[in-house]
Amino acid sequence: MDTNTYCTDVHDALSICARCGYCRDACPAYAASGWESYSPRGKFTILDSLAEGKDFPGTLANRVFQCTLCGACREACITGLDPRGMWVKLRKQLADRGQAPPVMEALGEMIMTKGNMAGEDKANRLLWTENVENVPEDTAGKKDAEVLYFIGCMASLYPAAYAVAQSSASMFLKAKVDFATMGADEICCGFPLVAGGLTGKLAEVAAANVRKIEELRPGRIVSTCPGCVHMWQHEYPSLLGKPVPVPVQHSSQYLLELAKEGRLRFKSFDKVVTYHDPCDLGRNNGIYEEPRELLRCVPGLQLVEMEKNREQALCCGGGGNLEMSDKDLSERIGTMKMAMIKRTGAQVVVTGCQQCRRTIQAAARREKARVRVMEITEFLLSVIDDGEG
Amino acid sequence: MDKTLSELYGERISEDWCERVAYSRDLGEIPAVLRSALKIENVPDLVARPSNARDVAAAMEYAKAGGVPVTPRGSASSGFFNAVPVKKGLCLDLCGLDQIEDVDQEAGTVTVGAGCRWLPLDRHLRRQGWAVRTYPTSAPTATVGGWINMEGYGVGSLAYSALIDQVVGMEVVFASGEIRWITPDSTPPTTWFAGSDGTLGVVTKVTLRIRRVPESEKHWLVSFADSDALGRAAVELASGYAGPYNMSFLHSSYFDLQRRMGHAAPDGDVLAVDYEDSAEAVAEGRQRVAEAAARHGGTILPDRLAEAEWEQRFRHLSLKRLGPSVLAAEDWIGPDRLGEYQAAVARLGRRLKTSFYTYGTIVGTQRMSVFTGYLTDRRKPLSYLIALSVTCRLHEIAGRLGGRPLGVGLWNTPYLPGIYSPEELTELRRRKKFLDPAGLLNPGKHYEWPALLSPGLFSLGANMGSLLQRFASGQ
């Protein structure tokens, strides 16, 4: 257990914080709640007051988890602080003290025992393949493939997100990509553990996934899940003290390469499309342009931007395990996102994340918005020109 | 909790300690020991988030009945405890009053809630071909109502004067609970509320004059060997017709710290000149800037530096990273005295072994703000307390040059005799008595100083502190 006081490892940051409030007005949790205590500045002020000798209160513990970890605060901070990193550290300290929401503990237990966040049997990771034609039988566990498709828990275990995995596999097949999956041996990348404050268990998860990659020896890892990409690119190397043995890419980056090589071509799509930057792909991975460039490969497609995009993009409300700790707050953020999408006049909103797709789809249903919500691979498959008319 | 308020506000009112303490600070960093000595109770008992003027009126009725102090608060992006309670009570978070009504195309005005933030408002208007006339350098978070209650000078004030001059009318909730729409010609007039620190009434809605999005804009940086020449160039550019939209001043000491942050920065003392106007006027501006630079020995810096500095106009506080604390004095002086001001600051720095950095905004031929800061570290309480006294020396420099502190709040109350003449102060106190006889609104601010901050005692303490600063400074 971490025996530091709550404020010790954030002490310097509390002194550096200018309390200008720029983070507050960038924070989706603040915008949705209206209370200063939800904002990074508010939490800093409370933490700073605790440093003067007060106990750590339950409201603040809640606020630390009532956050999407979207990282907008880090972009807004004029003194260069990383509040998102602080929230991750604080979540761990709270979890160590049993002050995390109980659902986080249950989530951790599930990931460590079942290897996925859905609590499913590992054999179910292959169910999504049943509706995809022509997937070679040896795809799962195939060695020395050009690409290892790391699917992630959502796209492989949640039927509503199967379309993302199925679209990716279909795209790979159409582009004649020699690809493999880990099949039933894929285990959760550990991203939900980070958000749950359960980082003590991460190294175990990382080691298991990296061992599998060393065994399969693919040319590269491609994932449709920004959280998985983040873990492989940024967390695993520091957790394991060594680089991941092969390059890791988000599917938008890889598909763009394929499009540029002429292995993917698209039909005309004469509609207005807007792109939602997933926080874990954009702010937390720095990938903004590749998805847009891909969309611009589609003839006739008119790409319009939301008033807040790229580094300033508004979160959809689905990050940071917020749905588990405060579903209502998550939905209110989703509603704000949907209002922003509607203001663009777009007929389709495309995003690079299966979780954002799910959250925005839910917001669209609630708001009765006449806008189609699609993950980028799913969208591209719908407009692919494969010569079959 | 009061039942009426509780029923009216629902989830928008709280007695929770976390909610309350989140409203107990602003940018100012005041050690707990000093707050305690001054008997400052900066954590409110109750926080409420009104969504309209009626909510505010109900809060005022509650306050009136129980003699409860009320602190109206926007984004608290100032540093003088202007929007922080000093006698606890009820804090009204007005940020939820952020609605923007349709632009009145004929009148060229927009009506907004007092909690509307400047940068989002400007972006909203620009999508319709309009723009705000002026805005503070804290525009990403500062509220319209908050800036009215400060003095309301900032970017664009050179062209459009103070914010209050752009206010056509505003809705105010008075201490009595009465809601009224006031204008520049009503009693009380809107002008009473400029820089009043929320002590006269709670501004809830404002109608502002706005401008068409300018056809063209261009930014220049002109580097001078000294601030004296820069001040003369600034006065020249600010004079006459078709002047710049905005001018700001960045002393070489500011760039020294930018370089310490790892950023590229120009040499010399720099005048930033911003034109936003017709293409023809901007072209003429180019000529005027070139002439002023030539006449006063300035060098026009590359465009990319000027564009980068313009983009940084909301981020001057980034230097705090180097502190981690910053203390500062902000004053009004005449641009023609800028050279003398900088020379005096340099002398003070040598005497106190303290490195200062300065930047400012020119708002007219007679007036510019100068923000002179110095890095310190609040984690070392004794040296931080000593360093606090240095602000007094900086204000004295400005005072000797005919200047005065900018803003009052709580922390500038010891300078009240320098900020206002006796007649002005009497008049301000009369207005307060007239509009808020029970002294419910933001008590402890603007009109009186706490006993320990009485000007004589404060000056004595500051002198002693400055003496110690020479030895405490580790530089």
Per the structure, the count of domains in chain B is: 1
Per-residue pLDDT, averaged over A30-51, amounts to 95
- Tokens encoding B377: 């570290």
Which residue among A15, A21, A76 places its CB closest to the CB of B75?
Answer: A21
Residues of A in contact with B75 (CB under 8 A): 21, 24-25
- Residue that wins the pLDDT comparison between B242 and A340: A340
Q: Is residue B12 part of a domain?
A: yes
Q: Is residue B246 part of a domain?
A: no
Residues of B in contact with A37 (CB under 8 A): 16, 18-19, 22
Q: Is residue B73 part of a domain?
A: yes
User: In this predicted model, what pLDDT tens digit does every residue of B62-75 receive, in sequence order?
Assistant: 999 999 999 999 99
Domain of B72 in residue numbering reads as 3-94
pLDDT at B284: 95
Q: Are residues B29 and B325 in contact, defined by beta-carbon separation less than 8 angstroms?
A: yes
Nearest CA in chain B to A22: B141
Confidence of residue A3 (pLDDT cuts 50, 70, 90): very low
Burial environment of residue A211 by CB neighbours within 10 A (0 to 12, 13 to 18, 19 or more): exposed
> Under an 8 A CB cutoff, do A16 and B324 touch?
yes
Which residue among A25, A36, A80 places its CB closest to the CB of B23?
Answer: A36
Query: Is B456 a residue whose pLDDT tops 90?
Result: no
CATH assignment of the domain containing B48: 3.30.43.10
Nearest CA in chain A to B22: A42
- Tokens encoding A259: 């499009």
Confidence of residue A5 (pLDDT cuts 50, 70, 90): very low
- Residue that wins the pLDDT comparison between A7 and B311: B311
Confidence of residue A6 (pLDDT cuts 50, 70, 90): very low
- Residue that wins the pLDDT comparison between A131 and A128: A128
Q: Is residue B328 part of a domain?
A: no
Q: Is residue B216 part of a domain?
A: no
Give the closest residue to B329 by CA, choosing from B158, B136, B146, B79: B79
Q: In degrees, to the nearest 5, what angle opens at C-alpha A235 toward C-alphas A322 and A45?
A: 50
Which one of B16, B21, B30, B125 would you mutate to disrupt binding with A, by most A Cβ within 10 Å of its Cβ? B21
Burial environment of residue B103 by CB neighbours within 10 A (0 to 12, 13 to 18, 19 or more): middle
Q: Is residue B391 part of a domain?
A: no
Give the separation between CA A271 and CA A304, rounded to whole angstroms: 10
User: In this predicted model, what pLDDT tens digit does every residue of B255-294 receive, in sequence order?
Assistant: 999 999 999 999 999 999 999 999 999 999 999 999 999 9
How far is B96 from chain A, CA to nearest CA, in Å? 7
Q: Is residue B65 part of a domain?
A: yes
How far is B84 from chain A, CA to nearest CA, in Å? 13
Q: Is residue B117 part of a domain?
A: no
> Under an 8 A CB cutoff, do B317 and A307 touch?
no
Give the separation between CA B144 and CA B92, rounded to whole angstroms: 15
> Under an 8 A CB cutoff, do B138 and A20 touch?
yes
Q: Are residues A94 and A199 in contact, defined by beta-carbon separation less than 8 angstroms?
A: no
Does residue A2 belong to the interface with chain B, where contact is any CB pair within 8 Å? no
